[in-house]
Amino acid sequence: MLTVNQLTIKTLKDRILIDHLSFTCVAGDKIAVIGEEGNGKSTLFKAIWNPDLISEYTVMEGTIDRRGAVIGYLPQSLDTRWVETTGLDFCMSETPSEIPDYEKIGELYVRLEDVGAGADLLERKMGQLSGGEKVKLQLVKLMLKEPDLILMDEPTNDLDLETLEILEQFILSSPAGILFVSHDETLLEHCANGILHLEQIVRKTQARHTFVHLGYADYVRQREALASRQDQLSVKEHQEYAAQMERYRRLYQSVDHALNSVSRQQPHAAKMLKRKMRSVKALGERLEDKPLTHKFEGEEQIELFFDPEVKIANSRKQILDFHQPQLWAGTHLCASGINLQIVGPQKVAIIGSNGCGKTTLLRLIWEQMKDRTDLRVGYMPQNYEEQLPMDKNPVDFLSEGQDQAFRTRIQNHLGSLKFTPEEMRQPMGTFSSGQKAKILLVKLVVDHNDVLLLDEPTRNCSPLSAGQIRAQLASFPGCILAVSHDRRFLAEVTERILRLTPQGLEEDSSIEF
């Protein structure tokens, strides 16, 4: 059992990440921790696992009681000290520095089958494995440890569809209490029976949290209903307040006019008017101090709009005619006989198992299309540093070579995506993956592209804001070619799904949403 009581975590610069958080996690709880990047999710997990991990950059108050629980931790990124370790020794060791204990090696092979992993992974070094293969071995390691409490920080980011389903089954079947971070809404809906939502509101000056024992879909509906009620109440109160202020102003002007008009020969009347004016001013002070309900503020309320004038006028225009006899990723032959034709404003998705060459393929297509003169082509890579100079701030990057009016427009775009003025002046190397993704989305918007090449566009977006991003991409009037494992993205945005196999690209209609 885990009990967190009145936990407050703030940075050394006095930014509060978590404010007086209290909750419990017991056996059978599957609590999804959601929120935008930078809101303290990973920091919370590190504090639960080992508070020393955050002591250099935060101050922590409150208590975290683990009650002697055996804890399993799947971090957001694997410790680099594991890179040269074989899969076998990784599974058999608690830390990179300890001597492996092969006592449970027999059970290890059984657990490998449970997660659909081959024994060959045990012979390879961890640095040679794909993201999905690493997650499979991490799940095996968790199973061998038999923890009472499991912390999983974004385990879904690098997983193919098949491994996502394995992860879902692991979460659902585990008797342990589980806290997990994920941007995959389908997984959240299937697995979560509790939600811990961490937010930064009022231009990221206030930390807010919500903890409920609800499934994800029920939580979203409850939140939307709350936002709707609060917005309606806010509108009503502000309308009533405006009417009260108008009556006050008319009354004030009337009494003030009477005071200025009364003659010195009417001292009693002047005295009465002064008394009335004191009452009127007191009323004004009460109105000024009257608390009003403000409209609901949520991080998901971002705005991103593609130019409706962007369109491919000719629905029969050849967008892509791509042929690749062999697709290599380094020294590994991924596929042969790749042929891909796209005509008009289609929205096409490429799926496939981890390591099959999807990112390599999309990058080759970008190289072929980026110099087209008849189309404007935008590219969002999986590795954001391919497109973003880490030493520049987002405003300078996005408005390079443009006038002040364009620069102001960029600032408005970034503001609508919840960037503060201070963040707009920071180098992009200091940003979270989610913030970098949003900067690239702004670039896709302001460049007025006809074609978008997107490599996992929603992988680092909060599940609550990802819905609005998907809606804008679904309504984009141009052509989209995207690599994605996001089942919501595949269902809501794309109209054609292709699976990359060793034999090339094949139409796939088997995906269940």
DSSP code string of 169-230 = HHHHH--SEEEEE---HHHHHHH-SEEEEEEEETTTTEEEEEEESS-HHHHHHHHHHHHHHH
The CA angle 288-293-298, to the nearest 5 degrees, is 135
pLDDT at 353: 86
DSSP 8-state symbol, 294: P
Assigned token pair, 217: 């879909």
CB of 488 closer than 8 Å to CB of 185: yes
11/458 Cα distance (integer angstroms):
28
pLDDT in tens, the chain (513 residues): 899 999 999 998 888 999 999 999 999 999 999 998 888 999 999 999 999 999 999 999 999 999 889 999 998 888 889 999 999 999 999 889 889 999 999 999 999 998 888 899 999 999 888 777 888 899 999 999 999 999 999 888 778 888 888 899 999 999 999 999 998 999 999 999 999 999 998 888 899 999 999 999 999 999 999 989 999 999 999 999 999 999 999 999 999 998 888 877 788 888 888 899 999 999 999 999 999 998 888 766 677 778 777 778 788 899 999 999 999 988 889 999 999 999 999 999 999 988 889 999 999 999 999 999 999 999 999 889 999 999 999 999 999 999 999 999 999 999 988 888 999 999 999 888 889 999 999 999 999 999 999 999 998 888 888 888 899 999 999 999 999 999 999 999 999 999 999 999 999 987 776
Going edge to edge, which strands form the sheet with 194-201?
71-74, 149-153, 177-181, 30-34, 194-201, 206-212
257/271 Cα distance (integer angstroms):
14
* Burial of 184 from C-beta contacts in 10 A (0-12 / 13-18 / 19+): buried
296/152 Cα distance (integer angstroms):
30
**The dihedral of CA 78, 82, 85, 88: what is its sign?**
negative
CB of 127 closer than 8 Å to CB of 116: no
Going edge to edge, which strands form the sheet with 58-65?
16-25, 2-11, 58-65
pLDDT at 459: 87
DSSP codes, 126-161: GGGS-HHHHHHHHHHHHHHH--SEEEEESTTTT--H
Q: Is the pTM of this model over 0.75?
A: yes
Q: What are the two backbone dihedrals, phi and then psi, of residue 338, each rounded to the nearest 5 degrees? A: -85, 125
